[in-house]
Structure 1
């Protein structure tokens, strides 16, 4: 198993990565602070006094502004493959009153920031429902059904992926290398050094191995998808600690 294209787009636009906003018939692009709410709608936290706020002001006779959010993945470690780029678009409208307060709670759940206390004074919240989604990777672009996008869930490990990889490399390097060699059928003296995990998600791990100039990647799936960091730790413990795994089986 592996993340679906809709899950990857939801993960990319969840709010953990920098984003650019492209507005129809307006100068730009603009850097923007954003998250997605539980339904996948995009929330933008915009300073009242800014070029972006001016660009988001509807023209006469318009209720809202067409906007495309552009998010490029930042690989969490050297040699890690990119998840690509997500483009989601819709019609952004400013929120006020109770809507703004509820949206501020959704924003805080994804990214707590004191600036949310100033919504309505120094900041405005804008929201748009995704009406078109695209996933770009390896010079190809794939359209994602908006319904599939809305139903997908962001990967729960993505916000801590870099920390997880660093922990595996810094504190469990020998156990990880041994486990990966066993799974991939590699010799202990495999050219290019020990195999290493370069990406990790709820469904499994991407492993890099081989000599420089001829690096290869393989995907190792987990027995079942994990829901959070704690479940991942429980899953990896018997995998990496062979004695612990044998002890568990003997009970």
Structure 2
């Protein structure tokens, strides 16, 4: 694990997949209809959007055009940073044409939804709730005042960050139990360039840990790269080992 200005970091496609995975609140805009509407959603393994919609709702009415068929929609997901001072991942906008699922497609989508966000309301799909799916035709990432277009193929091929579901817990554990180790690690690497003030972990993803250091308002941000991208939360302890376990000095015989 090392500080570097040229480290690998999540791509725009990975950020959009992470934001739209289903763990963050979302709004959906329906073409030519008032809105937006709050919606519960997830993405399946291919990145297609599944929306769980109450039968008795304005959104259900908006998604059922008088002419039948599908309807153009845009899903809007804003990142909720895990703590004060943490940088935002941005805002994802994905669009496509939503259609209601029925019969076998509905049953399979119910299972796919439950894999990501199990909820008792899935038991009432077909009675009190409906499921809609749309394939992402366009994706955009809004970040730091800039909007980046994400190729739909790159979006579909990307994977949501495996640490995002546990990010808040990981950061809280580092702050509560390993603050001295993180501070020591950063100071050893920055040397005389390290300003006074605490070092605080503010974000973690599959590629590394982001920390801030220095005194307010002149705090700086630094990304510490993991040796390899983390594939699942079980690998995080090994990735953080260089930070949490200071190397012992080597004693040579006289």
Aligning the two structures, in what range does the TM-score lie when normalised by the shorter sequence? over 0.9
Partner of 1:30: 37
Provide the residue aligned with 1:175 in structure 2: 181
Structure 1's unaligned 5+ residue stretches are: none
What's the counterpart of residue 172 of structure 2? 166
- 19, 24, 30: which one pairs with 2:26? 19
Aligned to 1:10: 17
Q: In the alignment, which residue of structure 1 is the partner of 2:92? A: 86
In 1: Cα distance, 2:46 partner to 2:38 partner: 23
Whole-angstrom distance in 2 between the partners of 1:6 and 1:130:
12
**In 2, distance between residues paired with 1:59 and 1:183?**
64
Shift of 1:246: 7.8
In structure 1, the residue matched to 2:126 is 120
For residues 186 and 93 of structure 1, do their structure 2 counterparts lie closer, same or farther at Cα, with a shift above 3 Å needed? farther
4+ residue runs over 6 A deviation: none
- Residue-by-residue CA offset, 1:202-230 (whole Å, 9 max, x unaligned): 00111111121111111111110001111
Pairing partner for 2:76 from 56, 70, 79: 70
1:72-91 Cα distance to aligned partner (Å, 9 max, x none): 00011111000110000000
Count of residue pairs brought into register by the alignment: 243
SS in 1 for 2:77: strand
Indicate if the aligned counterparts of 1:35 and 1:44 stay in contact, CA closer than 8 A: yes
C-alpha RMSD over aligned residues: 1.6
* Preserved contact between residue 180 and residue 196 of structure 1 (Cα < 8 Å): no
Distance 1:215 1:239 in 2: 20
- Paired with 1:187 and 1:142, the residues of 2 have a C-alpha distance of 34
Matched-pair contact (CA < 8 Å) for 2:185–2:243: yes
TM-score, normalised via structure 1 length: 0.93
- Per-residue CA deviation, residues 26-76 of structure 1 (Å, 9 max, x unaligned), is 01000000000000000000011111101111231x411100000000011
Residues 176 and 57 of structure 1, relative CA distance in 2, 3 Å threshold: same
Determine the structure 1 residue equivalent to 2:114.
108
Larger relative contact order (C-alpha < 8 A, sep ≥ 6)? Answer: 2
Q: Distance in 1 between matches of 2:91 and 2:27?
A: 11
Deviation (angstroms), 1:187: 7.1
1:137 alignment partner, one of 114, 135, 143: 143
Distance 2:223 2:37 in 1: 36
